[in-house]
Structure 1
Amino acid sequence: MLVGLGPGSHDTLTGRARDAIAEADTVIGYVTYIRLVKDLLDGKEVVKKAMTEELDRAIEAYERARLGKKVAIISSGDAGVYGMAGPTFEVLFQAGWTPDSGIEVEIVPGASAINTCAALVGAPLTHDFCAISLSDLLTPWPTIARRLNAVAYADFVVALYNPKSGRRTRQIEEAQRIFLQYRDPQTPVAIVKSAFRPKQRIQFTTLEKMTEAEIGMLTTVLIGNSNTYVKHGLMITPRGYANKYDVVSGKRSARTGERRGISLSSGLNGWLAAIQASDRTPAQLAADYHLPEAYIRSALAHPLEADDGDETTPAGE
């Protein structure tokens, strides 16, 4: 069982995670994670591993499972988000394991740092967002830098995992440099350390000043997009309702040129109609919209589909 502990506090531990630990004969994990749930481990074999021994944890778990033991590998957050699920499957596949081999594998989800930190600071993830780890222990820095550049340019809200450690101190500075190429220096940033743990600390700052804040391995850095703001101590990213509705009046009446339940006038079909009616060249349109010219040419080459008005509102909206 690959168990996500969430932030580690018992209040945020899911019922299934608690049950999985209770069912396990052996619990394997990084020493800090073991400490978070130590009062749930009485009578169990406990195997503690260091930070860089992820593959060793997976190998230990597989060996014990082959002996008939029920094993829980614990991760903070979610086991599938920068957690133990990936390394464990790598070890299992290399050992020839298949789902029919007699050893069952269950992933028990938990809230990742991006969720828990966002919950503490407001609603920063209400629009498109992504997560990027700044750890270059296993990922080449040019790969990380390209990803940072892409999301900064595309105006995502971004959660930076593993932003800084005792040895890795410059990565967060380089990330800041990349973001400042595209974002306003006053872009809101929330820095959350040890979310839902005894030493929890929350700090609001700006992109320009974020490297002056206290940042470490137990910190998650949330960088807002061009619309994110902080008000009354809360970091908010608008969903975009103001683009279509008169939100201030409270009537949710559609703005001029917009229709309820139908894509924005600047949505896909509206945009396709606009570029097809334009007298600008594909190269000029590509520059206007900051999109690849090849994509513009492809879009122009395909006929416009009519908006049939059957669009439904996604769950949660």
Structure 2
Amino acid sequence: MGKLYVVGIGPGGLEHMTAKAKEAIEKSEVIVGYTKYIDFIEPLIKDKEIVSTGMKGEVERCEKALEIAKEKVVSIVSTGDAGIYGMAGLILEMKKDEEVEIIPGITASSSAASVLGSPLMHDNCNISLSDLMTPYELIKKRVELASEGDFVISLYNPRSHGRPHYLRECIDIIKKYRKGNTPVGVVKNALRDGQEISLFTLENFDDSIVDMFSIVIVGNSGSYIKDGKFVTPRGYSL
């Protein structure tokens, strides 16, 4: 009888992967994943059978992983956390009698927050601007309600060639509820090679530097910049 581990490998660097994730990969006979994610963990899987697919092959990957897991121990890998825009939900929707274990990882907003300072110290939410799975009108509604509720907002999949204006439009929505000096942090390739960090405010934000490898974090009404770090107070008495 096989088993399927659904593994969040974190931001990409092996030093940021959890011990549990490494253990699951070491136990696995077969590794399934998107080609670029497989590359991130290449030093751990040299002696493993590899099944990789390109972008938008999520259903195919999950079907293959579940099929193999009937007989072998398999890990299907996602960057970040497998349960946050990863493969965990799809696997659980598709599984029948296969044994499945979800292994968490560091999600992109946490990775980006760690290099920006402490932007997520109070109530916060993640919103993906990709409309492949969610209608854009619903995305904008979620941005509006999160802004009205004064959540710190982490924007995943913020800008692509196919939707170059979504980020700008969503920032304009947030501006209705936040002051112009509200911090906005952009981290590209958080905690991996090629990391770039940029700090803006809502009033001087430049969306042209943002791409699909970036996370954008917008502060709440109490967020501020101190000594080059993005801080959101928790509310402790000082």
Q: Tell me, in whole angstroms, the C-alpha distance in 1 between the residues paired with 2:205 and 2:61.
A: 35
Partner of 2:106: 111
Query: 1:200 is aligned with what amino acid?
Result: Q
In the alignment, which residue of structure 1 is the partner of 2:86?
Answer: 83
TM-score (norm 1): 0.72
TM-score, normalising length from structure 2?
Answer: 0.95
Q: Give the AA of the match of 1:24.
A: S
Which residue pairs with 2:161 in the alignment?
A: 166
Larger Rg computed on CA atoms = 1
Q: 2:68 maps to which residue?
A: 64
Q: CA deviation at 1:213?
A: 4.5
Instruction: Give 1:186 deviation, angstroms.
Output: 1.9
CA distance in 2, matches of 1:213, 1:187: 19
Tell me which residue corresponds to 1:4. 8
Asked whether the equivalents of residues 188 and 205 of structure 1 are also in contact (C-alpha less than 8 Å), the reply is yes
- For residues 270-293 of structure 1, the C-alpha deviation after alignment (integer angstroms, 9 at most, x for no partner) is xxxxxxxxxxxxxxxxxxxxxxxx
User: Pairwise CA RMSD of aligned residues?
Assistant: 1.1
Structure 2 distance, partners of 1:211, 1:143, is: 24
**Residue in structure 2 matched with residue 22 of structure 1 by the alignment:** 26
1:170-185 to 2 correspondences below 5 Å = 170-185=165-180
| Structure 1 residues not aligned, in runs of 5+ | 248-317
- Name the count of aligned residue pairs: 234
Q: 1:219 aligns with which of 214, 234, 238?
A: 214
Secondary structure of the corresponding residue to residue 120 of structure 2? coil
Q: Percent identity?
A: 42
Q: What is the CA-CA distance between 1:12 and the residue it aligns to? A: 0.6
Q: Which runs of 4+ in 1 moved over 3 A?
A: none
Deviations 1:180-238, CA, capped at 9 Å, x for gaps:
11111221000001011110000001122323451111100000011100111111011
Q: 1:105 to 1:212 in 2, by over 3 A?
A: closer
Query: What's the CA shift string for 1:266-313, capped at 9, x where partnerless?
Result: xxxxxxxxxxxxxxxxxxxxxxxxxxxxxxxxxxxxxxxxxxxxxxxx
Any residues of structure 2 matched to 1:271-310 within 5 Å, and which? none
Tell me, which stretches of 5 or more residues in structure 2 are unaligned? Answer: none
Mapped pair 1:35 → 2:39: yes
Residue 130 (structure 1) aligned with residue 125 (structure 2): yes
Residues 6, 111 of structure 1: 8 Å contact kept = yes
